[in-house]
Structure 1
Amino acid sequence: MNLKERIKAFDQLGTELESQLAKAGDDGMHPLNDLLIRAYHQNGWFSERFTKDAIAHNADLLNEEKLEQWTAEYSDMLNYNGDRVVGTIMAGNIPMVGFHDWLSILIAGHSFAGKLSHKDKLLLPYLSELLIEIEPRFRERIHFTADRLPQIDAIIATGSDNSARYFEHYFGKYPNIIRKNRNSVAVLEGDETKEELERLGRDIFQYYGLGCRNISKIYAPEGFNFDEFFESIVDFGFVQQNTKYMNNYEYNRTIYLLNKEEGLLDNNFLILKRNEGALSSPVGVLYYDFYNDKEKVEKEIKQKSESIQCVVGKEGINFGETQIPKLWEYADNVNTLKFLVTLL
């Protein structure tokens, strides 16, 4: 397959996914409905609402114009099928978190060998079968395993800071991308509209806050009143319907109260806790800190850039857009497609 044929196949996959999402809402017996139920039973964080959101966003990316724009810089080299097998160790924190790696490897003409997380064993294989129905030549280029990877030529591995050390030791001999823990922050000016704060709520609560692109800390100007913020996020109270989320929220609330922590704000489904240094807040908790000098905030963010995925605010990513990255907005800001081109 050349690049044009691969792009055409993924464009058709995007159309098929959009069609399935539309039909699944009207047909309780649709295979996608069964998939959503099984994915939720396998992982209680994968609610139907958020899994559908993930599928819809990825389907939107699988558009011929967007795919051509993404690959244009490397189009000449990508016109060939590579003979490399690229192993991928995938996380399972949010639905189909390995989608972009899967797409990148295949669009680059390589073979994909993915080690599935036990938390997310169903969704990408489902998409792969749809893709193979559209373009059967992909069958020999897609392999999933829950155990050891087969013989590989390069590796893309995503995990925690601890697992990254293991990955670096075990896979250091291969060309690699090894990703570690990252978090995202928002910098408020104090004059945000209610609509902007509502969209910020999406950045916080999408996928229950489990993704590296979810906001885990807010910097607000000294004296900022969080009442309007709480009023703006009231519609996200649906997270209370998820037992796993509420167990985390109630556990953290209990610990903070027992420890008589100061600086706590609470609306019965989100705890705001003042924390000057840390970025990574627990589930059900959002860290915040006040500032008098915005330049100091910018300096702190720059110093912690290796631990930050997204910065949201008037001078950063738009409110509400952290979980809808474009094809060329890469995890850990490492250009995956450029890496894969070097293997050709």
Structure 2
Amino acid sequence: MKNLWLEVVIIWWMWMDNAMKPDLRGGLEAALGRAEILGKRWQEWIHQPSSQMEPLITDQVSQSGHTRADVVFQLKHLAEAITVESLQAWVRQSWPNGFAKSSNLNESGIPDSMLICCVHAGNIPMVGLQDMLAICLAGDFYAGKLSRRDSALMQAWLEYLCYQEPKLGQKLAWSTDAAGLVHSLNRPIQAWIFTGNESTWEMIQKQFVVDASAHDTPAATLVRRAEASIAVLDDQQSPLHSSELKALAEAMLLYQGKGCRSVGLIVSSKPLSFYQHSCAMVDSMEAVIMDSNQDESPVSEERVMERGWCAANQIAHIWVDHLLIREAPDYVFEPNESLFSTIPGVVYWVQGDRSQVEKWFDDSRKAAQIQSVYSVNTREHTSQSSRNRAEPSSKSRVESKTEPLELAQRPPIHWTPDGENPLSWVLNLPSQSHES
């Protein structure tokens, strides 16, 4: 009899526990449905006839200064990366932590939609697409401040989505003008995603204040500040193969090296002088330049002067018109100093190994600059694990950011800028943000 009462109590407790929880399964099914819609519409849009896509590509090239080949490369990559299956996998991967506890739940047990404003950079084509998709997958309201250097394709995609999915379109707004975007909204901005220098964020945010009384800053702000990435060559046993050299050249040169996933520093077991007269390395860079139809005219004066400085001071370097690889200056090893050159198209070379990268991760200023660490040895690639998150040592942080070099300019849709999954971040926004 005692055991029977115990079973009744356990069953009652389990029923009450489930009854008090939000219906996350229903929420998950809704998110998977949104993933299906977005994936299908994206595939329709990206595979439109060339008569419709070519004018958009031309406008994008005119705005951004990127070559047509760079824009087409990005579109081909996104066509492969964004599918119904990849979006649904991203939803499932991001869902286990569920939503933050909130008293502001609708009848489905899901927090009411938030208005999230994204201030997008314009350094590579459609750079804000991942954030836009994350917000839509979560069922929230996307307000996009598009860069004037990257608006043609994003605007065309958003217009297509609004036309094909009017209900979803009710939660989309965008503009290249901050004040114009705010005026188009009928509710306050509740959270922000910003890509750029953290020191400029407060100034940029003021552009969105059209009401002098609206001075409160929402607590939920995701700032992306990484500058560039590092390639670790793992070439102790033998020099790089031609395919590895091509992947390295692609990682440095695509989008004129302006992306945060672009390689700005190389760590090798060998000095740069070992590769300085390597025809294979120069050929690989020239091949990428030719494939991307880069035509920099005139060549950057700053880069030319840097090359002259290296030659005059017998600093090992490799030069092609669009790129200068040089031995890193000593200050790269100094605490709190920048890891990457401020001159576009200049990549630093450091003789060392992963232990050197681990030391940089011990310097908070340097660690914040690094987007990813690429390895040509994919067998050594280690994905982020719960162990790494539980033990945030410099070694585990290097491992969590390490990816195969060939993925440098081909990231999956679920990749984590600055180590933050944007979909998980949106789903777990604090309850006060939902209620503001």
TM-score w.r.t. the length of structure 1 is 0.87
The farther-off stretch of 176-185 and 262-271 is 262-271
Task: Decide which of 372, 376, 385 is 1:310's aligned counterpart.
Answer: 372
- Does residue 1:3 correspond to 2:31, yes or no? yes
SS at match of 1:9: helix
- Does residue 1:44 correspond to 2:65, yes or no? yes
**Alignment partner, residue 155 of structure 1:** 192
Q: Residue deviations 1:183-239, cap 9 Å, x none?
A: 101111223211111111111111111000000111122345221322333302328
Change (3 A) 1:81 1:301: closer
The farther-off stretch of 35-44 and 252-261 is 252-261
- Does residue 1:186 correspond to 2:231, yes or no? yes
SS at match of 2:406: coil
SS at match of 2:407: coil
1:294: Cα distance to partner? Answer: 4.5
- Does residue 1:286 correspond to 2:362, yes or no? no
Q: Residue deviations 1:258-295, cap 9 Å, x none?
A: 6835333213432112114143232222211212x652
Task: Decide which of 209, 222, 225 is 1:177's aligned counterpart.
Answer: 222
Structure 1 CA distance for aligned equivalents of residues 428 and 55 of structure 2 = 40
- 1:174 alignment partner AA: A
Q: Stretches of 4+ moved more than 6 A in 1?
A: 168-171
SS at match of 1:86: strand
Task: Decide which of 70, 73, 83 is 1:63's aligned counterpart.
Answer: 83
SS at match of 1:233: helix
Q: Residue deviations 1:105-147, cap 9 Å, x none?
A: 1111001111111211221111112222332212211101222
**Alignment partner, residue 414 of structure 2:** 328
1:161: Cα distance to partner? Answer: 4.0
Change (3 A) 1:79 1:143: farther
Q: Percent identity?
A: 23
Contact 1:249–1:285 (8 Å) recurs in 2? no
**Alignment partner, residue 295 of structure 1:** 355
- Does residue 1:254 correspond to 2:305, yes or no? yes
Larger Rg: 2
Structure 2 CA distance for aligned equivalents of residues 79 and 68 of structure 1 = 20
- 1:287 alignment partner AA: Y
SS at match of 1:157: strand
Change (3 A) 1:238 1:162: farther
**Alignment partner, residue 342 of structure 1:** 428
**Alignment partner, residue 15 of structure 1:** 43
Q: Residue deviations 1:55-78, cap 9 Å, x none?
A: 222232321221111111428769
Unaligned 5+ segments in structure 1 are 25-29
1:165: Cα distance to partner? Answer: 5.2
Structure 2 CA distance for aligned equivalents of residues 44 and 17 of structure 1 = 23
- Does residue 1:200 correspond to 2:248, yes or no? yes
The farther-off stretch of 30-39 and 11-20 is 11-20
**Alignment partner, residue 27 of structure 1:** none
- 1:103 alignment partner AA: L
Structure 2 CA distance for aligned equivalents of residues 162 and 202 of structure 1 = 31
Contact 1:89–1:156 (8 Å) recurs in 2? yes
- 2:372 alignment partner AA: C
TM-score w.r.t. the length of structure 2 is 0.70
